[in-house]
């Protein structure tokens, strides 16, 4: 892919014939072009990404409350904010909850996504098209539209889920208020995130499945491999990079999921759905402790750093392989 | 389980269909496929139902919505809820705000990304790898962790409650992805085409504009599709950066507070959700076809 341009003999670094002065000037001008082309990106990143990150880090080492926000003049406090956050047992509860939330979502997404991808691969043409259209429809549903839909589905009085559960014989779900209980709100949020994330995983994995040569399956069949063995010995090894990619992306996405949780429960009831991004936002926006919020944000990024660096290394390795 | 045979069969039947006449074998196969198809139907139902339920609720009269046995088919469709949603306070303004912010961000990032993608994909220069690393890092940026500093910065620079601030943020959130995808599309277009045009007397920019750019159009479209969806759906920053000036709100924030607007009027809420989803769906449908056809027509990636 990229080799074509890499081997292209264009702005060669060292050309044998000695260039005249005018040509040299033109060449040095030409050498500037790539830098001019990437300049807008670099400037944008500096102002809109690097600066906020730096500001966040600086704020986490300052005393920065409502007063400092309005009047300025924040004072340096060293690691005091981090000590406050790390000494708070609630922070650790939130960390544990976030890990549980991320793990549960990612496992469900990957298992369901894989199953649906395998199913797509085996379906007839028409059924496959129908299911793929359904997945695309789900994928296309905006997060906020989905949150309103789920609030309606699980509404206590006229919600269709309660109606269905009562019909199925679970009479205790008549007028059940899902969003008043921590556990059920958590479950609904997991359902929502999984429902929205599975299409990406399933369609991407299906795309990968179609690239596996049929001969591999054929020879596995001749060797007498069963369904599970085929998946373990043929499908999974072939798609390992794709699995790694999707898993790491889903880990990042689920870990920093904010909009769904904030809109449906704002972290409640009783903090049962407060994950780290929600926690940081609550501290900063509701309690006006911007310093503590920044410290939590920084810690969130640090916890996520493993997954982020893994992803970055993978991207860069692919880059080098090209 | 007959996973393997089914896969083999499916793969073969896809390639060598026309020769097979109807008879006993297809029927046996369809019978064996019944569990698979039932599972697929069940999955399809789970996938589609929430959206279906939104649309059908939006069209139901209120009496049917607030009934003890819900109806699953639109028996007496009405447009009343759409009327309520459209005539809700500020609906037109929020719609326009969302469109302005989204289109502004997408166009900005397309232009900026195209320049960068060209530099990365078609030129060799010192710092190229560092730049790619920067883009990848930016793509991984944990934006949700930047809500607080972004709020403080917007406040300090007098950019709070302004749509331009939101546009800039969305530009930056979509930019890295746009660069990476555009570069991918660019890499799929043989550089030889451009070189041939240069041999024929085109300057480098001309060669790019006349040869590569038209081939890149499907890529630009599909990339803008994803940018559009990201910006159109964004909630967290819109919710944080637009606080006092309610007229500068965007649709997601407005919709998220539907209970303040519509109370328990679920018909109107679902109608508003449907209207919010409609552009995304249209963009998906329109571009999906064009992109795939463009990809196959170009047939460069093989």
Task: Give pLDDT, residue B302.
Answer: 24
A99 and A23 share one domain: no
pLDDT digits (tens, 9 = 90+) for A65-103: 888 888 878 888 888 889 988 999 999 999 999 999 999
Task: Give pLDDT, residue A306.
Answer: 80
Task: Give pLDDT, residue A308.
Answer: 82
A170 and A317 share one domain: yes
Q: Is B205 exposed, middle or buried (0-12, 13-18, 19+ CB in 10 A)?
A: exposed
Alpha-carbon dihedral angle through residues A65, A69, A72, A76, given to the nearest 10 degrees: 40
Facing B235 at nearest CB: one of A69, A144, A300: A144
Substitution target in B148, B219, B228, B251 with the highest count of A β-carbons within 10 Å is B148
Facing A256 at nearest CB: one of B144, B184, B252: B144
- Structure token pair of residue A298: 């920084």
Task: Give pLDDT, residue B220.
Answer: 86
Q: How many CB atoms lie within 10 A of CB B41?
A: 13
Facing B40 at nearest CB: one of A4, A31, A119: A119
A239 and A158 share one domain: yes
Substitution target in A61, A145, A160 with the highest count of B β-carbons within 10 Å is A145
Substitution target in A6, A14, A38, A175 with the highest count of B β-carbons within 10 Å is A38
Q: How far is A78 from chain B (nearest CA, A)?
A: 18
Domain total of chain A: 2
Instruction: Return the residue of A nearest to B114 by Cα.
Output: A37
A236 and A288 share one domain: yes
Domain of residue A35, residue span: 16-52
Quote the ipTM score: 0.82
Bridge partner residues of A75 (DSSP): A63
Instruction: Return the residue of A nearest to B3 by Cα.
Output: A227
Q: What is the DSSP string of A142-171?
A: -HHHHHHHHHHHT-TTT-HHHHHHHHTT-G
A24 and A95 share one domain: no
User: Is-contact B122 B191, C-beta < 8 A?
Assistant: yes
pLDDT value at B36 more than 60: yes
The conformational region for residue B249 under phi > 0 = left, psi -120 to 50 = alpha, else beta, is: beta
Substitution target in B1, B2, B4 with the highest count of A β-carbons within 10 Å is B4
For B27-33, what is the mean pLDDT?
73
- Cβ A214–B155 below 8 Å, yes or no? no
Sorted by where each begins, the domain ranges of chain B are: 33-78, 92-298
A202 and A311 share one domain: yes
Task: Give pLDDT, residue B261.
Answer: 76
pLDDT digits (tens, 9 = 90+) for B96-127: 999 999 999 999 999 999 999 989 988 888 99
Greater pLDDT, A129 or B9: A129
- Cβ A11–B124 below 8 Å, yes or no? yes
Greater pLDDT, B78 or A131: A131
Per CATH, the number for B92-298 is 1.10.3720.10
Local structure of A2: helix, strand or coil: coil
Question: Helix, strand, coil: what percent of chain B each, to 5?
Answer: 80, 0, 20
Provide, as residue numbers in chain A, all residues whose Cβ is less than 8 Å from the Cβ of B137: 312
pLDDT digits (tens, 9 = 90+) for A171-214: 888 888 888 888 899 999 999 999 999 988 898 888 888 888 88
- Cβ B191–A226 below 8 Å, yes or no? no
Average pLDDT, chain A: 85
Residue A7 lies in a domain: no
A105 and A250 share one domain: yes
- Cβ A48–B172 below 8 Å, yes or no? yes
- Cβ A312–B288 below 8 Å, yes or no? no
- Compute and round to an integer the Cα radius of gyration of chain B: 25
Local structure of B210: helix, strand or coil: helix
Facing A4 at nearest CB: one of B14, B191, B266: B191
Question: Which residues touch A310 (CB under 8 Å, ≥6 apart)?
Answer: A248
Residue A97 lies in a domain: yes
Q: How far is B15 from chain A (nearest CA, A)?
A: 11
Greater pLDDT, A258 or B17: A258
Task: Give pLDDT, residue A11.
Answer: 43
H-only helix segments in B242-265: 251-256, 258-262
Task: Give pLDDT, residue B25.
Answer: 60
Residue A85 lies in a domain: no
pLDDT value at A322 more than 60: no
SS3 annotation, B38-73: HHHHHHHHHHHHHHHHHHHHHHCCHHHHCCCCCCCC
Task: Give pLDDT, residue A285.
Answer: 85
Task: Give pLDDT, residue A320.
Answer: 67
Q: What is the DSSP string of A185-209?
A: HHHHHHHHHHHHHHHHHHHHHHHHH
pLDDT value at B138 more than 50: yes
d(CA A28, CA A43): 22
pLDDT digits (tens, 9 = 90+) for B172-219: 999 988 898 888 888 888 888 888 888 888 888 888 888 888 888 878
A158 and A47 share one domain: no
Task: Give pLDDT, residue A3.
Answer: 39
- Structure token pair of residue B22: 């109807």
d(CA A117, CA A202): 5
Provide, as residue numbers in chain A, all residues whose Cβ is less than 8 Å from the Cβ of B10: 121-124
Facing B40 at nearest CB: one of A125, A127, A263: A127
A134 and A273 share one domain: yes
Helix count and strand count (H, E) for chain B: 16, 0
- Cβ A144–B256 below 8 Å, yes or no? yes
Q: What angle do CA B41, A188, A297 make, to 5 degrees?
A: 125
pLDDT value at A296 more than 80: yes
Instruction: Return the residue of B nearest to A250 by Cα.
Output: B140
Strand boundaries in chain A, DSSP class E: 62-63, 75-76
Q: Is A101 exposed, middle or buried (0-12, 13-18, 19+ CB in 10 A)?
A: buried
d(CA A73, CA A63): 9
Greater pLDDT, A320 or B58: B58
Q: How far is A24 from chain B (nearest CA, A)?
A: 17
Residue A183 lies in a domain: yes
d(CA A278, CA A261): 8
pLDDT value at B159 more than 50: yes
Task: Give pLDDT, residue A24.
Answer: 61
For A31-40, what is the mean pLDDT?
90
Alpha-carbon dihedral angle through residues A132, A135, A139, A144, given to the nearest 10 degrees: 150
Task: Give pLDDT, residue A1.
Answer: 36
Q: What percent of chain B has pLDDT over 70?
A: 85
Q: How far is A99 from chain B (nearest CA, A)?
A: 16
Q: For A268, how many CA atoms within 13 A lie in the half-sphere containing its CB?
A: 9
**Which residue is associated with the tokens 């759409």?**
B82
Residue A223 lies in a domain: yes
For A285-291, what is the mean pLDDT?
86
Task: Give pLDDT, residue A94.
Answer: 93
d(CA B1, CA B27): 19
Residue A155 lies in a domain: yes
A158 and A289 share one domain: yes
Provide, as residue numbers in chain B, all residues whose Cβ is less than 8 Å from the Cβ of A257: 144
Average pLDDT, chain B: 81
Task: Give pLDDT, residue B277.
Answer: 92
Q: What percent of chain A has pLDDT over 90?
A: 35
For B33-43, what is the mean pLDDT?
89
Residue A147 lies in a domain: yes
Task: Give pLDDT, residue B16.
Answer: 42
pLDDT digits (tens, 9 = 90+) for B222-275: 788 878 888 998 999 999 898 888 888 899 998 888 877 777 788 889 999 999
User: Is-contact A294 A64, C-beta < 8 A?
Assistant: yes
Q: What percent of chain A has pLDDT over 70?
A: 91
Q: For chain B, how long is the longest CA-to-CA vector?
A: 76
Task: Please report which confidence band the pLDDT of residue A321 belongs to, taking 50, 70 and 90 as the band edges.
Answer: low
d(CA A68, CA A74): 5
- Cβ A140–B281 below 8 Å, yes or no? yes
Greater pLDDT, A249 or B52: B52
- Cβ B51–A137 below 8 Å, yes or no? yes
Q: For chain A, how long is the longest CA-to-CA vector?
A: 91
Task: Give pLDDT, residue B24.
Answer: 55
pLDDT value at A170 more than 90: no
């Amino acid at each position: 892919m990229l080799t074509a341009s890499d081997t292209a003999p264009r702005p060669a670094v060292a050309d044998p014939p000695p260039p005249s002065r005018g040509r040299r000037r033109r060449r040095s001008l030409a050498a500037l072009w790539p830098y001019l082309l990437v300049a807008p990106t670099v400037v944008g990143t500096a102002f809109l990404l690097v600066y906020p990150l730096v500001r966040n880090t600086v704020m986490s080492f300052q005393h920065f409350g409502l007063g400092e926000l309005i009047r300025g003049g924040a004072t340096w406090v060293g690691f005091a904010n981090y000590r406050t956050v790390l000494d708070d047992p609630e922070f650790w509860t939130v960390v544990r909850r976030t890990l549980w939330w991320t793990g549960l979502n990612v496992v469900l997404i990957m298992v369901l996504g894989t199953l649906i991808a395998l199913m797509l691969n085996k379906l007839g043409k028409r059924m496959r098209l129908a299911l793929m259209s359904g997945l695309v429809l789900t994928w296309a549903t905006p997060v906020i539209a989905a949150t309103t839909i789920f609030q309606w589905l699980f509404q206590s009085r006229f919600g269709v889920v309660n109606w269905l559960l009562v019909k199925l014989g679970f009479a205790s779900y008549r007028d059940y208020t899902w969003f008043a209980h921590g556990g059920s709100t958590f479950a609904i949020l997991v359902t929502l995130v999984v429902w929205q994330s599975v299409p990406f995983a399933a369609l991407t994995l299906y795309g990968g499945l179609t690239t596996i040569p049929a001969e591999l399956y054929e020879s596995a069949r001749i060797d007498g491999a069963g369904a599970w063995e085929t998946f373990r010995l043929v499908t999974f090894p072939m798609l390992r990079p794709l699995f790694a990619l999707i898993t790491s992306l889903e880990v990042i996405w689920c870990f920093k999921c904010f909009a769904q949780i904030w809109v449906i429960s704002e972290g409640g009831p009783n903090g049962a759905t407060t994950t780290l991004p929600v926690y940081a936002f609550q501290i900063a926006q509701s309690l006006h402790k911007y310093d503590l919020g920044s410290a939590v944000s920084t810690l969130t990024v640090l916890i996520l750093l493993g997954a982020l660096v893994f992803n970055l290394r993978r991207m860069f390795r692919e880059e080098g392989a090209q | 389980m007959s996973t393997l045979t089914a896969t083999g069969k499916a793969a073969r039947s896809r390639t060598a269909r026309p020769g097979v006449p109807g008879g006993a074998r297809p029927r046996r196969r369809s019978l064996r496929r019944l569990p698979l198809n039932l599972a697929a139907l069940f999955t399809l139902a789970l996938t589609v139902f929430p959206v279906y339920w939104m649309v059908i609720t939006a069209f139901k009269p209120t009496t049917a919505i607030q009934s003890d046995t819900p109806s699953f088919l639109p028996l007496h469709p009405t447009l009343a809820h759409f009327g309520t949603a459209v005539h809700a306070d500020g609906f037109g303004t929020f719609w326009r705000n969302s469109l302005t912010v989204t289109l502004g961000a997408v166009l900005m990032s397309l232009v900026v990304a195209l320049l960068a993608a060209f530099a990365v994909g078609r030129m060799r220069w010192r710092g190229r790898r560092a730049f790619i690393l920067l883009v990848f890092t930016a793509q991984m940026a944990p934006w949700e962790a930047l809500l607080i500093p972004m709020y403080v910065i917007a406040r300090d620079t007098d950019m709070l409650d302004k749509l331009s601030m939101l546009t800039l943020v969305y530009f930056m959130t979509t930019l890295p992805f746009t660069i990476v995808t555009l570069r991918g599309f660019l890499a799929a277009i043989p550089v030889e085409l451009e070189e041939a045009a240069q041999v024929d007397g085109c300057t480098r920019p001309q060669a790019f504009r006349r040869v590569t750019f038209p081939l890149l159009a499907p890529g630009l479209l599909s990339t803008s599709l994803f940018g559009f969806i990201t910006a159109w759906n964004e909630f967290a920053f819109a919710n944080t950066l637009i606080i006092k000036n309610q007229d500068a709100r965007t649709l997601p924030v407005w919709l998220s507070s539907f209970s303040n607007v519509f109370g328990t009027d679920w018909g109107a809420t679902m109608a508003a959700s449907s209207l919010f989803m409609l552009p995304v769906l249209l963009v998906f449908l329109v571009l999906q076809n064009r992109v795939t056809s463009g990809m196959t027509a170009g047939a460069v990636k093989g």
